[in-house]
Structure 1
């Protein structure tokens, strides 16, 4: 099988040197610096809260070392997920549909609905981003059966993937809880009783496994894998391979974040920014793959507040995460891009217009 057969048909034209895809992105007019930047480093075994506070306030992103996730686990997870993503395109779609699972396969956009299916992007519906992947809601994994009526030959791989992602999920959830509790202390948030699970609900945790295509002849040039965005989460935790491509905005410039072996990248999302009354920032970032001869693989964990918990902030109108998510989806479907927190500023024209729309 040609590796091209594993990619969605729309990707193959680009990889083989055909017409480029429409990959228009919405981003501020900024100077792009093609250089690496050293983001703050947090040691989870000897967590320094002052360094953590500075990283959250000035950066919204940091590198995590001594995190306790076994290297053998992440290596095996990358191997199995890569094997599944390398299946022929139609096989991937049929496999995940056949097992009637909560796991979904998506491609061409990072914007998904709550079920994990790709959102149609209104005016930008024809635009395709060079990525594909699996969406895995961790709370539903225990009830997920990989047995198919027709005995699919790929079931053993899928079962291995389920076991590995469940183990990885336990580790990464532990890390997210530990980090959130430490961040909450730097903000003097009260986490007594059920408050911590309201701010950070483990039941909302999900993992997305991404693959960004490679090209033997470099036909696609510099490919837009993930558009300019902030995450909607409280915390996001990224494990990437050595290919690179993650870029963050610092001030008015873009910088590359170089991969470092056996570390994780942690970034704060919109919910943390709202919870902190804008003291901490939801970092603006994107993925642009410059080395087109190598595929890029990454695994990202996202966790959110309880869906019905009301987030109160002096800078935003009270809202629940479910309301925020619904507004983001409406914006993506109507305008093709996420607007996010500015929608919820009481004096913002965006907020007033969304009220009129409702």
Structure 2
């Protein structure tokens, strides 16, 4: 049967076995779903999209002052075409931030250089306030969702807690996709490197998910997050859950698409374990993906930095990665 819409999962009902079963089916059969009843107010989500529009409307010089090339931690602003996916330039403007931390004095591994401060525009102080508040709440939801997902897989709800006991590694971005004549790739087809991704969409469609060899359009659903399974959960489930390819198409010329993406992973110094799933789930596993261009690495920091360097070769070159 052809899939016409992503499953809808209620976060508020995940204390029931019935909803956790629906969660497992959505996560294993599709790898994508809408998450509703997550506790974040619609007003707060609309404020995030509004402040995003304010940021992208700033003078170009103010945005360029926050260019990601300034940051060895891969944080800050990217103009259209600055990020690459699947070897091609993406048609999007974006602003990235991560956990607000202090840089290490003497990092020993390349991935340890991801640890550090964010860049923020002085002329728009509410951006920092609203975006950090958003990710703090999203992290609470993501941890609860991950625990419910573990339960749905027949293991202890806290089976992965030790991989983020200090704090999950989080990466987020606000994005503006301009309608450009002749362009099609907002973001090329890819998988996400973490445990879970949340996407907040405005009313402009464009996100597409690969399912059974076809591309499904993910239409905006008010008040929801679009959630997808990342590579770390594919590794943890030994392939029972699959990180799903997705892409974003450029909107029509003269229009724009705004979104906010949040990526939750284990802490960077963790190694992802293999969960001991029930026999019937092990039997259904497709195995962990093997792609020589994108090997999946159990050491979280190595898996994350691999994606950052591939997506931002200019930043990597500027800081000697």
| TM exceeding 0.5 | yes
* Deviations, residues 114-140 of structure 1 (Å, cap 9, x unaligned): xxxxxxx9xx5xx43211111111333
What SS class does the counterpart of residue 303 from structure 1 fall into? strand
1:95-244 mapped onto 2 (5 Å cutoff):
95=66, 103-107=75-79, 108-110=81-83, 124=87, 127-140=88-101, 155-157=122-124, 159-190=125-156, 195-198=160-163, 202-214=167-179, 220-221=181-182, 223-244=184-205
1:1-358 mapped onto 2 (5 Å cutoff):
37-47=4-14, 48-95=19-66, 103-107=75-79, 108-110=81-83, 124=87, 127-140=88-101, 155-157=122-124, 159-190=125-156, 195-198=160-163, 202-214=167-179, 220-221=181-182, 223-313=184-274, 319-328=298-307
Alignment correspondent of 2:110: none
Q: Which has the larger radius of gyration?
A: 1
Q: CA deviation at 1:330?
A: 6.4
The CA distance in 1 between the partners of 2:303 and 2:30, in whole Å, is 23
Whether the 8 Å CA contact 2:91–2:183 is kept in 1: the answer is no
Q: CA deviation at 1:101?
A: 11
* Deviations, residues 194-252 of structure 1 (Å, cap 9, x unaligned): x414068744112111111135xxxx145211000000110000001011100011111
Consecutive unaligned residues in structure 1, runs of 5 or more:
1-34, 113-120, 147-153, 335-358
Whether the 8 Å CA contact 1:106–1:132 is kept in 2: the answer is yes
Whether the 8 Å CA contact 2:83–2:311 is kept in 1: the answer is no
Q: 1:198 to 1:95 in 2, by over 3 A?
A: closer
The CA distance in 1 between the partners of 2:77 and 2:308, in whole Å, is 19
What SS class does the counterpart of residue 302 from structure 1 fall into? strand
Q: 1:307 to 1:144 in 2, by over 3 A?
A: closer
Whether the 8 Å CA contact 1:201–1:303 is kept in 2: the answer is no
The CA distance in 2 between the partners of 1:64 and 1:299, in whole Å, is 15
The CA distance in 1 between the partners of 2:8 and 2:187, in whole Å, is 24
For these two proteins, the number of residue pairs brought into alignment is 275
Q: 1:96 to 1:109 in 2, by over 3 A?
A: closer
TM-score, normalising length: structure 1 = 0.68
Alignment correspondent of 1:14: none
What SS class does the counterpart of residue 155 from structure 1 fall into? coil
Q: CA deviation at 1:73?
A: 1.2
TM-score, normalising length: structure 2 = 0.75
Whether the 8 Å CA contact 1:235–1:266 is kept in 2: the answer is yes
CA RMSD of aligned residues (A): 3.3
